[in-house]
Chain A
Amino acid sequence: MRMTRREALRVGSLSGAALLLDVAWSGQVAAAPAASFRPNAWLRVGADGSVAITVGKSEMGQGVRTSLPMLVAEELEVDLAAVDLVQAVPGPEFKRLRTGGSGSVYGSYAALRKAGAAAREMLVSAAAAQWGVDTSGCRAINASVIHGATGRRLSYAALADAASKLPVPDNPRVKGAEDLLLVGRPTRRLDGPRIVTGRAVYGLDTRVPGMRQAVVARPPVLGGSVVRWDATRARAVPGVRDVVQVPSGIAVVADDTWAALQGRDALDVTWNDGPHAGFDSVAFRRRLAEAAQGPGRLSRREGAGLAALASAARRLDATYEYPFQAHAPLETMNTIAVVARGRCEIWTPTQAPEQVRDEAAKVLGLAPEAVRVNVTLIGGGFGRRLGIDYAVEAVHVAKAVGVPVQVMWTRPDDMRHGHFQPASAHRMAAGLDASGRLVAWGHRKAGSYLSIFPAPSAADMDDPAHWQDESWGAYDIPYAIPAIETDYVLVDSPVPSGPWRAVYSPSCTFARESFLDEVAHTSGRDPLPLRLDLLEGPSPVTIGGLTIDRTRLRRVLETAAAKAGWGEPLPKGRGRGLAANVYDGDTHVAMVAEVTVGGDGVRVDRVVAAVDCGPFVNPLHIERQVESGVVWALATVFFGEITIAGGRVQQSSYGDYAVPRLRHMPRVETHILPATVAQPSGIGEAPVPPVAPAVMNAVFAATGRRLRRLPVRAADLA
């Protein structure tokens, strides 16, 4: 079976959960030191009553090192702060450790709660046996078991040895929603004190004995290569120890970062610019917009599809455009590698540690078991660190120099050699009947596949499921419209690209929700009731591989609108805009943005968000992810754009690739809806897609101007 893009991004959570079940619920207690026990691979109760969980997810700001312990502490009845964390190292015991697809919580939710509940039941059984009473009269509280009738009490430390000899229950009872004491309550992050004192150790802060620092000179043109190089001057820089060629370029290895940087500056390299030296992103974006006018490969057709436009009383057409963008996390790419005696050890801020291990093994001709990958704390992931290029590069350098080495990317390295969010263009068409009702919808995306994934196969070309997978937010339009046709025009691109926050959704949702606003204004309707009416239809509905619950989407729309004061008058120059989206079939989000447009451009004053991500673990994390998603998306609306001229990425830092600063921060209000389903869904990405259309719809409300091309520049508003 073909693995879809969606599955590729999610595999960590889905398979991770399956693995938990395989390993954990066979009734076997895994080998463990005497007197400690492990109801599954992820949880260990020590002989002293200590509790440690292994975290299979990378911490990159989503709060996983707090929310996952919360799940165990809740069921096991221990103090959250007493739960120790161990970062999983890929190996036979811990597989599929990928962190992506917003899946940190939903992929662990059931398994970790079940593990905690199993351990609790084993401890309770051990206590009941010791007292010769029935377990029903005993309860766990505060790392102890208490016998209600007699008030007798035994600590987990006193019970761990006996509990370790009991079978792991197959179906422990997890708490009902009404019994939850911790899950669902705002909980501050456990690693906060380390962060505010500078003691949190990120990839770049990791040190190993004998380690040297390296930087790599890479070809300035995408797809370029080294012709020849002379390191005479570089080697003369004090502190430079070695200069070696690796597949990505020329590595300068030195005693410290500064010496490595000076050495790299002194390198004399002649580059072959390769086949893409003529690539220009301005021309490419024009090509995308042109390609979007032509026929595409079908991803979905409902009713008569585009043919229905012919009989419409009125027709609207528009093209929306989305730029190339960089992840630009604050911690640049970096990795430590040590290659010695037929083994390799790696420390890296990665979202994909198993891929790092397997690729390193390949490079070194070793078995994967000979490679150990330590996942460090990550200074911003956003999907960039699903790519493993920087880790593999460090392995090459370490192999060449034979000493432990940390390869650091400078900010310009990071900005120019990322795998970018690809540009796309969206050709929209809508048909209204004589009464102004929306009866036909067309959305054609012209874009490029993400180059860190395999290229579409010949079989993919005529498979609507494949093109659905490349156009989240377009084909899965949640609204009930009699005729819908969505398709995709593949435009080849030499620009390295990969997933970023919300992957394909931000561009598609920007086009979809903005164009729906155009439909509303054209038909003289308020955008809120228009959407609510379009969500009346049957619910839930299956679209491709997704199930869309229109009732939940209505609920978030109504909530966001009510909290934002939708419909209340605003002074001249100000406007409100609305957008909604179901991300990945799971998390339902609606947003209302309020803007002021004046002489100095657009100011986003306020964003009101309503989110429904099912049962939630830590509302503080959810609020933060919404605030974060707003800032992330505002960067795409008003700030950064990666441009490429002569095959060279032109940006180098946060000056020419601007990002929002504190003064740009709107007031963000997050309203979390109570769960109506049993399974949680992700929140890391879902807040991103509705932001751009909500803001641009607000700009339209304030000015009457429809801006269809991102990022918005001052001239667009002049």
Chain B
Amino acid sequence: MPPFRLVVNGAARDVDAPAEMPLLWVLRDRLGLTGTKYGCGVGICGACTVHIDGRAARSCQLAVRDAAGPRITTIEGLSPDGSHPVQRAWLEEDVAQCGYCQAGMIMCAAAFLQQKPHPTDADIDAAMSDSVCRCGTYQRIRRAIHLAAGSAR
């Protein structure tokens, strides 16, 4: 198996894995970064969302060979201490229920706010509707994103 050099949360990590192995399983099974979740494996639930060079990407849809090179950020690396404005807003609004989808939601929201720092409700609906929360935390997600946008001002 060819070794791939990944840059994960600012550190270089060499991984021996089949080239087509999805980044999701590399993160979870090889690098011990279990904050990135498996939800569907086909890119329709958003639980596995990470940042690739600052943009949201589904790690279940990205082969490790294509993940070598760019900066990969997982929920564990979004901030050193949970102090990213989105994380703080999530705590303030007490968004989570079971919490399983929340890492993906937070990664989506953080990348989205980079692109659109002051979103409307409609912007949020459009940007965040590719992710599934089965507990139904959506109302609080909306509020938390507005809050994070405000605090980033």
Contact = CB atoms under 8 A, between A and B. Distances in A.
B102 A258 contact: no
Contact of B103 (A198, A204, A667, A668): A198
A659 interface: yes
Contact of A665 (B36, B130, B132, B142): B142
B140 interface: yes
B41 interface: yes
Interface in A51-93: 60-63
Contact of B44 (A188, A196, A238, A655): A655
Contact of B41 (A63, A205, A410, A628): A410
B101 interface: yes
B4 interface: no
A704 interface: no
B136 interface: yes
A329 B133 CA distance: 9
A213 B28 CA distance: 12
A64 to B, nearest CB: 11
B94 interface: yes
Contacts of B125: 662-663
A201 B137 contact: no
A653 interface: yes
A198 B9 CA distance: 13
Interface string A545-560: 0000000000000000
A381 B100 CA distance: 11
A331 B37 CA distance: 8
B20 to A, nearest CB: 9
B82 A197 contact: yes
A584 interface: no
B118 to A, nearest CB: 18
B11 interface: no
B138 A662 contact: yes
Interface in B4-58: 17-18, 21-22, 25, 28-30, 32-42, 44-45, 47
A198 B75 contact: yes
B134 A380 contact: yes
B136 A653 contact: no
A329 B136 CA distance: 11
Interface string B123-149: 011101111111111111110000000
A274 B124 CA distance: 48
Q: Is the interface of A mostly helix, strand, loop or mixed?
A: loop
A627 B143 CA distance: 13
A653 B40 contact: yes
Interface string B76-87: 101100100001
Contacts of A348: none
A188 B39 CA distance: 26
B106 interface: yes
A630 interface: yes
Contact of A329 (B34, B41, B134): B134
Contacts of B102: 195-196
Contact of A662 (B39, B82, B99, B141): B141
Contacts of B134: 328-330, 380, 382, 632, 659
B152 interface: no
A257 interface: yes
A202 interface: yes
A400 interface: no
Given A379-B99, A665-B138, A257 B94 contact: no
Nearest to B80: A197
A662 to B, nearest CB: 4
Contacts of B44: 653-655
Contacts of B62: none
A60 to B, nearest CB: 6
Contacts of B91: 188, 192-193, 196
Contacts of A629: 136
A189 interface: yes
Contacts of A627: 136-140
A660 interface: yes
B113 interface: no
B59 interface: no
Interface in A185-239: 188-189, 191-193, 195-202, 204-205, 207, 213, 238
B40 A628 contact: no
Interface string A100-124: 0000000000000000000000000
A153 interface: no
Contacts of A191: 99
A401 to B, nearest CB: 17
A258 B129 contact: no
Contacts of A620: 94
Contacts of B40: 411, 653-654
Nearest to B89: A196
Contacts of A213: 29
Contacts of B74: 198
A258 B18 contact: yes
A330 B139 contact: no
Contact of B35 (A199, A378, A379, A628): A199
A661 interface: yes
Contacts of A628: 97, 135-137
A662 B32 contact: no
Contact of A189 (B96, B126, B136, B142): B96
Contact of B98 (A238, A256, A379, A630): A379
A379 B100 CA distance: 5
B141 to A, nearest CB: 6
A61 B124 contact: no
A355 interface: no
Nearest to B21: A258
A509 interface: no
Contacts of B21: 258
A650 B84 CA distance: 41
Given A198-B74, A256-B29, A661 B132 contact: yes
A67 B142 CA distance: 25
Nearest to B125: A663
A213 B34 CA distance: 14
A198 B78 CA distance: 10
Contacts of A630: 136
A378 B99 CA distance: 9
Given A238-B1, A256-B25, A330-B101, A631 B90 contact: no
Given A258-B21, A630-B136, A662 B131 contact: yes
Nearest to A202: B100
Shortest beta-carbon contacts, A-B, top 10: A198-B35, A631-B136, A379-B100, A61-B98, A198-B75, A61-B97, A205-B34, A665-B138, A195-B99, A663-B125
Interface of B: 1, 17-18, 21-22, 25, 28-30, 32-42, 44-45, 47, 74-76, 78-79, 82, 87, 90-91, 94, 96-103, 106, 124-126, 128-142
8 contacts: A198-B74, A257-B25, A257-B28, A330-B134, A331-B37, A381-B98, A411-B45, A661-B130
Given A195-B103, A664-B138, 12 more contacts: A196-B90, A197-B78, A199-B35, A205-B34, A258-B25, A329-B100, A330-B101, A332-B39, A382-B134, A411-B40, A627-B136, A662-B142
Interface of A: 60-63, 188-189, 191-193, 195-202, 204-205, 207, 213, 238, 256-258, 328-332, 377-382, 408, 410-411, 620, 624, 627-632, 653-655, 659-665, 667-668
